[in-house]
Amino acid sequence: MKLALVGATGLVGREMIEVLEERQIKIDEFIPVASERSVGKIVVLNGKDYTIHSMQGAIDKAPDFALFSAGGSISLEFAPQFAAVGTTVIDNSSAWRMHPDKKLIVPEVNGHELTAEDKIIANPNCSTIQLVMALKPLHEAYNIKRLVISTYQSFSGTGAKAVDQYNTEAKGDTESEYPMAYHYPIFENCLPHCDVFLDNDYTKEEMKLVHETRKIMKAPSMRVTATAVRVPVHAGHSESINIEFEQPFEIDEAKKLLKNQKGLILQDDIKNNIYPMPKYARKKDEVFVGRVRRDESIENGLNIWVVADNLRKGAATNAVQILQALI
């Protein structure tokens, strides 16, 4: 199997290498790709050195699969070029997610939709992936009518520049000039501003939650509203999710559905202070769910708290799981 990794030196690219190693994906030829300034440098996979290729050099090798984590504009330009030489592209950017002809896949939720004919497959937004993982068994049982989502998202979701900003601020070096990923400090702060603001006063991240959730769940009329907040956490997104169902439910049955969902771990023992936290989700591939309780203010309402490592299940792991499903 010939595999290209576009964006091999980035945060998610490096995480993808770790996941490929951990899952022991058999790769006969590995083709790391990065920016022109990185061409010729070395990337290590399974203890072996691989030279970074240019984009065209990788396309010329016609790999079987290409994992993309290099930004939307790169994906829009080069994913079709890979597809044209027979490569199946799994793209981690937002470029293809809402394209009507491209599938948006979380393997445990809608992996059955994949076919050999799919040449460009979209990996959902990190916050969407963990959301739909928790929603799937509940929606199948009770039919979701409305969602109110509040996210608490790690700064690593913004990229290396945000990590550098936090580390600089944590050292107390706030007086010097340094590249700012955000409009304000992230250290000891919360920013209700993920991605850019749109004409409706929501951010792009908030609307991703709306549109991507509807697409994956095949529920175009599902009512969804979101507020996305960037928090001073190195890795791991947390979500407070308020759900209104069409059908009545029993709380113990809802917990059982969550417990039995593949890829989910139920952590809901409040007597012993057990609930999901991003600190303990780091480097884990599962999605963690807890604080499961009835919303007493509405009929058929439920509150849950969902946590996952945004670089793992929220990006690298989900992409590699798609690769595994295709293999």
Active site residue 126: yes
CATH number of the structural domain 2-123+315-326: 3.40.50.720
Any idea where the domains of the chain sit in the sequence?
2-123+315-326, 128-310
Q: Choosing from 126, 193, 194, 211, which is the catalytic residue?
A: 126
**Is 53 assigned a catalytic role?**
no
Q: Report the predicted TM-score, pTM, of the whole model to 2 decimal places.
A: 0.96
Q: What is the pLDDT along the chain (327 residues), one digit of tens a residue?
A: 999 999 999 999 999 999 999 999 999 999 999 988 899 999 999 999 999 999 999 999 999 999 999 999 999 999 999 999 999 999 999 999 999 999 999 999 999 999 999 999 999 999 999 999 999 999 999 999 999 999 999 999 999 899 999 999 999 876 667 789 999 999 999 999 999 999 999 999 999 999 999 999 999 999 999 999 999 999 999 999 999 999 999 999 999 999 999 999 999 999 999 999 999 999 999 999 999 999 999 999 999 999 999 999 999 999 999 999 999
In the set 53, 139, 194, 237, the catalytic residue is 237
**Residues whose CB is less than 8 angstroms from the CB of residue 68 and which lie 6 or more positions away in sequence, other chains included:** 6, 7, 74, 75, 78, 79, 89, 90, 91, 92, 93
CATH 3.30.360.10 for the 128-310 domain, yes or no? yes
| Residue 254 to residue 258: CA distance in whole angstroms | 6
